Amino acid sequence: MRVDVFKIPQAGPDDVSGLHHLIQSGAIAPQQIVGVLGKTEGNGCVNDFTRGFATQSLKVYLAKYLSPEAIQEIVFVMSGGTEGVISPHLTVFTRQPDDPQRSPRLGLVLGTARTRPFLPREIGTMTMVTTVAAAVQEAIADAGAAAEQIHFVQIKCPLMTASQRSSQAEVVQISSYQSMALSRGASALGVAIALGELSLNDLQEPDIAHNFDLYSGVASTSAGVELQNCEIMVLGNAPCTSAYVIGHSVMDHALDVEAVRQAMAQTGQGSDRMVQILAKAEASPTGQILGRRHTMLDDSDISHTRMARAVVGAAIASVVQDPMIYVSGGSEHQGPPGGGPVAAIACLDE
């Protein structure tokens, strides 16, 4: 396959002008769009409607070119929260058959999959873990890659709203916000199972969103109210004719810029060839960073996920000198506690 990557600035969640320009110029063929990652300027919490607004705007626009069935096949992952210097934008991935004029080389491949819708009571359970694991394996097969060739797995997962909790036969003793963490965590553990980073024997249901020694080094999960299933995109390197390549590393803490440089170095390309950085962000649950106390978990006015995005976004932007980066908050079982996976996509020298 040949995968292409387009990073598009947005003036607002409903701004499709940049995508429109690329389609009108012929740079993007709507029929080849397989995934869209977005950073929208909401709060990234339960009531962040910028995610759904952005997705709806994209679907309405693409309906000019594609059938409802074709639009349904596109993976839309909108991550809310552009705190600090993070700039709102879209990253559009297209896929087409290999270019016969090019010789295959190790380059970016992409696969997608979806789970069935989850019942509210299944969110954050072993049922979710195993269901996600099976779907991730489907996405890896769709990418034509092996598990060890995967560098980043992006999942959009559901959460449980207050009305859904009240409709359950048994009283559910978690908040909507807590359900986001459980959903992200179970989805990430599903990635770890699918990639062989963990085995099912390593994991019990009480571990989910509690035992953070269990994690994936490539999972990135983002919860939202705008869907009930999980939408999955895997990114890796395999022989193909793509003009892009991906590398990854794991940040041990929110200021671990050396891990960002390691991910970039894995691509074999210079900093001027970097197209996008994808990362997870978390306020360390220990209340410490580099041996110093932080207060992100104690602030009742601002969610710690918002603070973490601002910190990690600034740290990464300082390395790549570009604030248009994808940083998602809440990294339960995504990298070590207080850290998170980071991936770099670069354009290969032609």
Catalytic residue numbers?
156, 222
Q: Could you give the CA distance from residue 244 to residue 349 in angstroms, rounded to a whole number?
A: 9
Locate 74 and state its tokens.
């596109």
Contact call for residues 86 and 313 (beta carbons, < 8 A) = yes
**What HEC string does 309-325 produce?**
HHHHHHHHHHHHCCCCC
Q: Could you give the CA distance from residue 343 to residue 345 in angstroms, rounded to a whole number?
A: 7
**Residue spans of alpha helices (H) in 120-241:** 126-143, 162-166, 176-194
Question: What is the Cβ-side half-sphere exposure of residue 130, based on CA atoms within 13 angstroms?
Answer: 9
Locate 193 and state its tokens.
């199972």
Contact call for residues 194 and 133 (beta carbons, < 8 A) = yes
Contact call for residues 125 and 205 (beta carbons, < 8 A) = yes
Helix/strand/coil for 20: helix
Task: Measure CA of the first residue to CA of the last residue in the chain; give whole Å.
Answer: 17
Q: Say which residues have a Cβ less than 8 Å from residue 125's Cβ, sequence separation at least 6.
A: 186, 205, 208
Q: Which residues pair with 342 in a beta bridge?
A: 249, 279
Q: Which residues pair with 33 in a beta bridge?
A: 94
Rg (CA), the chain: 19
Instruction: Count how many residues are written for the chain.
Output: 350
Closest CA to 345 of 152, 97, 104, 144: 152
